Copies of this chain bind each other. A is one copy, B any other.
Amino acid sequence: MRNIMIIIEYDGTNYGGWQKQKNTLSIQQVIEEAIYKITKKEVNLISSGRTDAGVHAIGQVANFITTSKIPIEKIPDAINSKLPNDISIIGSKEVAMDFHARYSARRKRYKYIILNSKYKRPINRNYSYHVKYDLDIDKMKNEIKYLIGEHDFKAFMSSGSSVQTTVRTIYDVSIEKQGDLIILEIEGNGFLYNMVRIIVGTLIDIGRGKISTSLKDIINSKDRNRAGYTSPACGLFLKKVYY
């Protein structure tokens, strides 16, 4: 028995998210079927965490147990030969049997891309969220510092998820302007349901002057109604998982 870790990039546009489910195609299902085709054995692919419908990944991590003898360095090409163009295995590693892509994860890093332009731009339209309003980037940059550290992020969680605690630690967050793009990156020990997308929606509302409350006060309120809207999935990328 071998425990194989794979790193995955995917375009989430045409999927119902990572997790296997009825009535919609999931990334998990497509990769499990590709692995079946090359190993002839059913596998249970464990990821670092589900991503929602439409969310992308450039560094999702997953693992599966197999008796296959395919050399580890051949794993990506072998699986990729059975995958559609919007999913790709971009790395592989043989890991200890107790490695678990979800439970062993220590940190995750997400990226969110806002296209801040007067008119919509066709190129990369599936990989960014178009905001046509003027955004005060300095104001947004000034606010994000309140996210750093251990906080109760209850105000930034969509309902419909059950978690033991809404306390999470953010280690790093940045906002950078590159031409028409505004790129947010955020790293933490874990994220609540829709947390990154609600943080982004709140920052956009702050940047365009629709919300005048500081992020600090919104965090302290623990009230979802004080935060902004949930920005769309198409701008969000799971960038890296740390073990």
A interface residue numbers (CB < 8 A to B): 9-11, 56, 58, 76-77, 80, 85-91, 117-125, 127, 237
Task: Please determine whether B76 and A122 come into contact, CB atoms closer than 8 angstroms.
Answer: no
Task: Please determine whether B9 and A88 come into contact, CB atoms closer than 8 angstroms.
Answer: no
* A237 to B, closest residue via Cβ: B123
Contact of A10 among B89, B90, B122, B124 (CB under 8 A): B122
Task: Please determine whether A119 and B11 come into contact, CB atoms closer than 8 angstroms.
Answer: no
A119 partner residues in chain B, CB cutoff 8 A: 76-77, 80, 88-91
A89 partner residues in chain B, CB cutoff 8 A: 119
A76 to B10, CA, bound (A): 33
A85 to B120, CA, bound (A): 8
Within the complex, what minimum Cβ distance (angstroms) separates A31 from chain B? 12
Query: Would A85 and B125 be within 8 Å (CB), given that A80-B120, A119-B80 are in contact?
Result: yes
A85 partner residues in chain B, CB cutoff 8 A: 120, 122, 125
**Is chain A's binding surface mostly helix, strand, loop or mixed?**
mixed
Task: Please determine whether A88 and B122 come into contact, CB atoms closer than 8 angstroms.
Answer: yes
A87 partner residues in chain B, CB cutoff 8 A: 122
Q: List 21 A-B contacts (CB under 8 A).
A: A9-B121, A9-B122, A10-B122, A11-B123, A56-B123, A58-B121, A58-B123, A76-B119, A77-B119, A85-B120, A85-B122, A86-B125, A87-B122, A88-B120, A88-B121, A90-B117, A90-B118, A90-B119, A90-B121, A123-B127, A124-B124
* A125 to B, closest residue via Cβ: B85
A77 to B56, CA, bound (A): 29
Task: Please determine whether A11 and B90 come into contact, CB atoms closer than 8 angstroms.
Answer: no
Within the complex, what minimum Cβ distance (angstroms) separates A178 from chain B? 11
Within the complex, what minimum Cβ distance (angstroms) separates A6 from chain B? 11
A90 to B130, CA, bound (A): 13
Within the complex, what minimum Cβ distance (angstroms) separates A232 from chain B? 14
